[in-house]
Amino acid sequence: MYRFWTALLCLPVTNLPAAEPYPPPHADRIFSYVQAEQSELRVTHEGSETYSWDVRGWIGGDYDRLWFKTQGDDRLDGPVETAELQLRYSRLVTAFWELAVGARYDLEPEPSRGFAVFAAHGLAPFRYEVDANAFISEDGDVSARLEVEDSILITQRLVLQPALELDFAVQEVEEIGVGPGLSQIELGLRLRYEIVRELAPYVGFVWERKVGRTADLARRRGEDFDVPAFVAGVRFWF
């Protein structure tokens, strides 16, 4: 019996069919995604109310994507303060980072302007989500924006989201009230409850502060340069 099993194990296996290689994940498939990161009402201590939005989405595959992004602030008792639209193409360069190029157009504040966009988006150490953007306007003005946020799970449905946004400018652009250097800081803390993963109402607090020369220009124009506000909104995606 021992000789039988030994002979069987020594039989050639060249006639066995070759295993098919696994196809790459999601090969040649197109996906789409839209998310309202912010859709909220902001109420300041003076009682003024502003609707603020930050909506983004993409269509593409695992490596190449076409993005859109729009964000802005609309005073409910006055004109739209800021409104911008971005379109950009991104390419995944590492497991957690993608580089992008594209265009941005500011409808508000006046005068409206166009920009070239160069961006990097991904996850930094400790899983912070980072969106770093450099802009060159049609007039040659250079500026940048850095957005960093995190999601802290308190429970499986209750999530605390701290966020930081820094705006920089190289040149002074007096007609839109921007000075050189660090021009504005925004700190946010939002607590959301995910009814389902795709839908989450939230409340929170946001503090906006113009600094440096930008704050001086705001004072000269009679504008607020230090604006704390309570927020309530809904975050959703599909």
Q: What is the DSSP secondary structure assignment for residue 36, as one 8-state letter?
A: E
**Secondary structure class of 94 (helix, strand, coil):** coil
Q: Which residue, 34, 110, 44, 111, is CA-closest to 65?
A: 34
Q: How far apart are CA 107 and CA 119, in angstroms?
A: 21
Q: How far apart are CA 57 and CA 86, in angstroms?
A: 11
Containing 2, the helix (H) or strand (E) segment is helix 2-9
Residue 24's CB: how many other CB atoms inside 10 A?
A: 8
| The pLDDT value given to residue 221 | 87
Q: How far apart are CA 58 and CA 89, in angstroms?
A: 9
- For the entire predicted model, the pTM comes to 0.85
Q: How far apart are CA 122 and CA 146, in angstroms?
A: 12
Cβ–Cβ under 8 Å, residues 184 and 214: yes
Q: What is the DSSP secondary structure assignment for residue 47, as one 8-state letter?
A: -
List the chain pLDDT tens, one digit each, 238 residues: 444 444 444 444 444 444 444 445 555 689 999 999 999 999 998 888 999 999 999 999 999 999 999 999 999 988 899 999 999 999 999 999 999 999 999 999 888 999 999 999 999 988 899 999 999 999 999 999 999 999 999 999 999 999 999 999 999 999 899 999 999 999 999 999 999 999 999 999 999 999 999 999 999 988 889 999 999 999 999 9
Place of tokens 């991904």: 122
β partners of residue 106: 84, 113
Containing 29, the helix (H) or strand (E) segment is none
| The pLDDT value given to residue 150 | 96
Domains of the chain, CATH where assigned = 31-237 (2.40.160.40)
